Amino acid sequence: MLNEKLFIGDQALVELAKLLSKPAVGQVFVLVDANTGAQCLPLLAKVLPDSARVVEIPAGEEYKTLATCETLWAELTEARADRYAVVVNLGGGVITDLGGFAAAVYKRGVRFVQVPTTLLAQVDASVGGKTGVDFMGFKNQLGVFQEPAAVFIEPRFLQTLDPRQLKSGYAEIVKHWLIADADGFARNRYVGMLVDDWTPLIGESVALKQRIVAQDPLESGLRKLLNFGHTVGHALESYLLQQPGREILHGEAVAAGMVCETWLSYHKGLLSAEELDKIETFLFSVFEKVQFVTLETKAIADFARQDKKNSGAIINCTLLEGIGRGVYDQAVTLEEIAESLRYYHRL
């Protein structure tokens, strides 16, 4: 247990069973997608009450929408779920974001718990109280801050992932090193993903994020550090999401975004050439290059206009003033973002 609401390890689901057996818990609803329903629900089912109702939605970022929320809301309404109901979100970032948002607004809020099944969700999406859905092609355009009743991280779920999904989650671990853990980056830059047991890395990464979130739960300052790689990354992910057949995973977009935003840090004199080389060499040793053409860079950059860190017409970005030292609220222009994408494309 990392704190009173977060459990990690092979006893996590035992703790979930204890929570769901409490007298104050009413109906239990389990939100899954087509993948987690088939691959992860059998393990979870061992600790669920017999009366739990499973709600399945299609898998994929394209279903992270208000329309999909209506599926869960309809199930809750038809079952006459009251405020004592608990929603168990079993899945990756789409499920934890969408399920948390849907629970947070149903009857002005019912409790939900996160049971993340991907590495990305275990180290990032399920922790910190951010919920949301995509809208009009923009990532997490609608959402609320709402802490889950608890988070239960069972590393065995990672065995259901293919290598691409595992690598996507690893991007968020790398992000945590680059913004606040230089020693972690130094220890692991020659190891990469040659990991036998993910539990220690998950614990370290979650603890780092929790320390930041505890100081700034509503993202008015310090928590913005966690957006490193996401200004350019979200723009790239949103652009390609609208191009059928070119969709990429969130972590793949963040990895590309980290290369671009590391270059922006160097471009603005915050980062040395040596540090730029170390970071991009490591990132390209793990992640394949995201494919786009130079003519698309302005169109991709334009998606950054909708970034949630912006202030009016100013695009605010989290950059690095050294490995392990993030700095937030750094103003960048659309042209600088486009140039960072052109730099990435040339590498």
Listed in order, the ranges of the chain carrying CATH 1.20.1090.10 are 168-346
Domain 6-160 has CATH 3.40.50.1970: yes
Dihedral sign for Cα atoms in the order 116, 119, 122, 126 = negative
Indicate which residue of 209, 261, 280, 316 is catalytic.
209
Q: Quick one: tokens of 191? A: 């190891």
Indicate which residue of 167, 175, 234, 309 is catalytic.
234
pLDDT in tens, 222-251: 999 999 999 999 999 999 999 999 999 999
Q: Is residue 124 packed enough to be buried (19+ CB in 10 Å), middle (13-18) or exposed (0-12)?
A: buried
Q: What is the pLDDT of residue 88?
A: 98
Give the mean pLDDT of the chain.
95
What's the CA gap between 179 and 124, in Å, rounded? 14
Indicate which residue of 35, 89, 227, 316 is catalytic.
227
Superfamily of domain 168-346: Dehydroquinate synthase-like - alpha domain (1.20.1090.10)
261 is catalytic: no
Q: What is the pLDDT of residue 2?
A: 42
Residues 6+ away with beta carbon under 8 Å from 166: 119, 158, 193
175 is catalytic: no
Listed in order, the ranges of the chain carrying CATH 3.40.50.1970 are 6-160
230 is catalytic: yes
310 pLDDT more than 80: no
Of residues 194 and 280, the one with the higher pLDDT is: 280
Indicate which residue of 61, 147, 172, 280 is catalytic.
172
188 is catalytic: no
Indicate which residue of 111, 139, 189, 250 is catalytic.
250
Q: Give the confidence band of 85 by pLDDT, cuts at 50, 70, 90.
A: very high
219 is catalytic: yes
345 is catalytic: no
pLDDT in tens, 21-75: 999 999 999 999 999 999 999 999 999 999 999 999 999 999 999 999 999 999 9
Share of the chain above pLDDT 90, in %: 92
What's the CA gap between 317 and 304, in Å, rounded? 10
130 is catalytic: yes
Indicate which residue of 64, 111, 189, 223 is catalytic.
223
108 is catalytic: yes
Residues 6+ away with beta carbon under 8 Å from 303: 138, 234, 235, 236, 238, 239
199 pLDDT more than 90: yes
Q: Give the confidence band of 306 by pLDDT, cuts at 50, 70, 90.
A: confident
172 is catalytic: yes
211 is catalytic: no
Dihedral sign for Cα atoms in the order 336, 337, 342, 347 = positive
- pTM for the model stands at 0.91
Q: What is the pLDDT of residue 54?
A: 98
Closest CA to 152 of 127, 177, 181: 127
Q: What is the pLDDT of residue 1?
A: 37
Rg (CA), the chain: 20
Q: What is the pLDDT of residue 314?
A: 83
